[in-house]
Amino acid sequence: MTTKQLRINHILLGDEDWKKMLTACDELGYNKSSILKNALQGYFKRYRDFYVNAGILDAKARGITSSEHFITLRDASEDALPHYLDSLPLFGQSPIDTIAPIPNEEGNKRKYNIVELSAFNFVLLRVGKIVHRDSYSQMVGRMVKVHLIDNWESVYLPQMARDVSNDYQ
Protein backbone atom coordinates (compact mmCIF):
# COMPACT_ATOMS: atom_id res chain seq x y z
CA MET A 1 0.00 0.00 0.00
CA THR A 2 1.26 3.42 -0.91
CA THR A 3 1.29 6.22 1.60
CA LYS A 4 1.16 9.86 0.67
CA GLN A 5 2.55 12.85 2.51
CA LEU A 6 1.01 16.27 2.95
CA ARG A 7 3.26 19.09 4.07
CA ILE A 8 1.49 21.23 6.61
CA ASN A 9 3.24 23.89 8.70
CA HIS A 10 0.67 23.78 11.48
CA ILE A 11 -2.83 22.71 12.39
CA LEU A 12 -5.29 24.94 14.16
CA LEU A 13 -6.51 23.50 17.45
CA GLY A 14 -7.72 25.15 20.63
CA ASP A 15 -6.00 24.59 23.97
CA GLU A 16 -8.52 22.03 25.28
CA ASP A 17 -8.27 19.81 22.20
CA TRP A 18 -4.48 20.19 22.02
CA LYS A 19 -4.26 19.11 25.66
CA LYS A 20 -6.31 16.00 24.83
CA MET A 21 -3.95 15.18 21.96
CA LEU A 22 -0.90 15.57 24.19
CA THR A 23 -2.54 13.51 26.95
CA ALA A 24 -3.21 10.72 24.46
CA CYS A 25 0.43 10.90 23.39
CA ASP A 26 1.69 10.69 26.99
CA GLU A 27 -0.76 8.07 28.23
CA LEU A 28 -1.19 5.85 25.17
CA GLY A 29 2.25 5.94 23.61
CA TYR A 30 1.51 8.02 20.55
CA ASN A 31 3.81 10.68 19.20
CA LYS A 32 2.36 13.89 17.73
CA SER A 33 2.63 12.57 14.19
CA SER A 34 0.95 9.24 14.87
CA ILE A 35 -1.88 10.72 16.97
CA LEU A 36 -2.78 13.08 14.13
CA LYS A 37 -2.67 10.21 11.64
CA ASN A 38 -4.84 8.13 14.00
CA ALA A 39 -7.35 10.96 14.39
CA LEU A 40 -7.64 11.47 10.62
CA GLN A 41 -7.93 7.72 9.98
CA GLY A 42 -10.70 7.51 12.58
CA TYR A 43 -12.43 10.55 11.13
CA PHE A 44 -12.39 9.16 7.60
CA LYS A 45 -13.47 5.72 8.78
CA ARG A 46 -16.56 7.25 10.37
CA TYR A 47 -17.32 9.82 7.65
CA ARG A 48 -15.95 8.05 4.56
CA ASP A 49 -19.28 7.91 2.73
CA PHE A 50 -19.71 11.68 2.79
CA TYR A 51 -16.28 12.32 1.22
CA VAL A 52 -16.57 9.46 -1.29
CA ASN A 53 -19.93 10.83 -2.47
CA ALA A 54 -18.50 14.35 -2.58
CA GLY A 55 -15.60 13.12 -4.74
CA ILE A 56 -18.01 11.41 -7.14
CA LEU A 57 -20.21 14.52 -7.34
CA ASP A 58 -17.19 16.74 -7.92
CA ALA A 59 -15.91 14.45 -10.71
CA LYS A 60 -19.29 14.53 -12.47
CA ALA A 61 -19.46 18.31 -12.17
CA ARG A 62 -16.06 18.51 -13.88
CA GLY A 63 -16.99 16.02 -16.63
CA ILE A 64 -14.46 13.34 -15.66
CA THR A 65 -14.75 9.84 -14.25
CA SER A 66 -14.41 9.25 -10.55
CA SER A 67 -11.25 7.25 -11.29
CA GLU A 68 -9.69 10.18 -13.18
CA HIS A 69 -10.65 12.47 -10.30
CA PHE A 70 -9.15 10.11 -7.70
CA ILE A 71 -5.89 9.65 -9.62
CA THR A 72 -5.50 13.39 -10.19
CA LEU A 73 -5.95 14.14 -6.49
CA ARG A 74 -3.62 11.32 -5.50
CA ASP A 75 -0.84 12.07 -7.98
CA ALA A 76 -1.16 15.81 -8.66
CA SER A 77 -3.36 18.32 -6.85
CA GLU A 78 -6.76 19.98 -6.79
CA ASP A 79 -5.39 22.59 -9.19
CA ALA A 80 -4.81 19.90 -11.83
CA LEU A 81 -8.52 19.03 -12.00
CA PRO A 82 -10.47 20.42 -14.98
CA HIS A 83 -12.74 23.41 -14.41
CA TYR A 84 -16.38 22.81 -13.58
CA LEU A 85 -18.70 22.36 -16.55
CA ASP A 86 -21.38 24.43 -14.89
CA SER A 87 -21.22 25.15 -11.18
CA LEU A 88 -19.87 23.71 -7.97
CA PRO A 89 -22.01 20.74 -6.88
CA LEU A 90 -24.06 20.82 -3.71
CA PHE A 91 -22.28 18.46 -1.34
CA GLY A 92 -24.73 18.68 1.56
CA GLN A 93 -23.85 19.20 5.21
CA SER A 94 -20.40 17.90 6.01
CA PRO A 95 -19.36 16.38 9.32
CA ILE A 96 -17.36 19.50 10.25
CA ASP A 97 -20.01 22.06 9.31
CA THR A 98 -21.23 22.15 12.92
CA ILE A 99 -17.73 23.00 14.20
CA ALA A 100 -17.01 26.71 14.27
CA PRO A 101 -13.82 27.76 12.51
CA ILE A 102 -10.86 27.73 14.88
CA PRO A 103 -9.44 31.24 15.23
CA ASN A 104 -6.27 31.63 13.19
CA GLU A 105 -4.36 33.01 16.16
CA GLU A 106 -0.79 32.27 17.18
CA GLY A 107 -1.94 30.40 20.31
CA ASN A 108 -3.97 27.93 18.21
CA LYS A 109 -1.22 27.17 15.67
CA ARG A 110 0.20 23.75 16.52
CA LYS A 111 3.42 23.14 14.61
CA TYR A 112 3.53 20.20 12.24
CA ASN A 113 5.63 19.21 9.33
CA ILE A 114 4.28 16.21 7.42
CA VAL A 115 1.04 14.26 7.70
CA GLU A 116 1.39 10.77 6.24
CA LEU A 117 -1.79 8.96 5.21
CA SER A 118 -2.88 6.04 3.09
CA ALA A 119 -3.39 7.05 -0.54
CA PHE A 120 -7.17 6.68 -0.10
CA ASN A 121 -7.37 8.88 3.01
CA PHE A 122 -4.99 11.37 1.36
CA VAL A 123 -7.44 11.67 -1.55
CA LEU A 124 -10.36 12.04 0.87
CA LEU A 125 -8.46 14.85 2.60
CA ARG A 126 -8.03 16.58 -0.76
CA VAL A 127 -11.74 16.09 -1.49
CA GLY A 128 -12.34 17.75 1.87
CA LYS A 129 -10.33 20.75 0.72
CA ILE A 130 -12.61 21.02 -2.32
CA VAL A 131 -15.76 20.66 -0.21
CA HIS A 132 -14.77 22.97 2.64
CA ARG A 133 -12.84 25.54 0.59
CA ASP A 134 -10.56 26.16 3.54
CA SER A 135 -6.89 25.82 4.42
CA TYR A 136 -5.57 22.40 5.36
CA SER A 137 -4.60 23.84 8.76
CA GLN A 138 -8.18 24.84 9.51
CA MET A 139 -9.84 21.81 7.96
CA VAL A 140 -7.56 19.25 9.66
CA GLY A 141 -8.00 21.03 13.00
CA ARG A 142 -11.77 20.83 12.69
CA MET A 143 -11.60 17.17 11.63
CA VAL A 144 -9.46 16.38 14.68
CA LYS A 145 -11.93 18.24 16.89
CA VAL A 146 -14.83 16.15 15.51
CA HIS A 147 -12.77 12.98 16.04
CA LEU A 148 -12.15 13.95 19.67
CA ILE A 149 -15.83 14.78 20.22
CA ASP A 150 -16.77 11.38 18.78
CA ASN A 151 -14.10 9.34 20.60
CA TRP A 152 -12.62 11.03 23.68
CA GLU A 153 -15.18 9.79 26.21
CA SER A 154 -15.91 6.45 24.54
CA VAL A 155 -12.45 5.34 23.36
CA TYR A 156 -9.52 7.33 24.73
CA LEU A 157 -10.59 7.81 28.37
CA PRO A 158 -11.61 4.15 28.92
CA GLN A 159 -8.29 2.95 27.50
CA MET A 160 -6.36 5.30 29.80
CA ALA A 161 -8.48 4.19 32.78
CA ARG A 162 -7.69 0.53 32.07
CA ASP A 163 -3.99 1.34 31.98
CA VAL A 164 -4.29 2.88 35.45
CA SER A 165 -6.55 0.16 36.91
CA ASN A 166 -4.15 -2.66 36.00
CA ASP A 167 -7.14 -4.84 35.15
CA TYR A 168 -9.01 -5.99 32.04
CA GLN A 169 -12.25 -4.31 33.01
- The counts of H helices and E strands in the chain are 6, 4
CA 155, CA 158: separation in Å to the nearest integer?
6
pLDDT of residue 133: 95
- Residue 109 has φ and ψ, to the nearest 5°, of -85, 110
> Which residues constitute the domain of residue 101?
3-165
CA 42, chain centre distance (Å): 9
Choose among 127, 118, 154, 153: nearest CA to 40: 118
CA 12, chain centre distance (Å): 12
Q: pLDDT value at position 1? A: 60
The CA distance from 75 to 98, in Å, is 31
Distance CA 155, CA 3 (A): 26
- What is the predicted pLDDT for the residue at 11? 96
Tens-digit pLDDT string for the chain (169 aa): 689 999 999 999 999 999 999 999 999 999 888 899 999 999 999 999 999 999 999 999 999 999 999 999 999 999 999 999 999 999 999 999 999 999 999 999 999 999 999 999 999 999 999 999 999 999 999 999 999 999 999 999 999 999 889 888 7
What are the residues whose beta carbons fall under 8 Å from the beta carbon of 22, sequence distance 6 or more? 32
Number of domains in the chain: 1
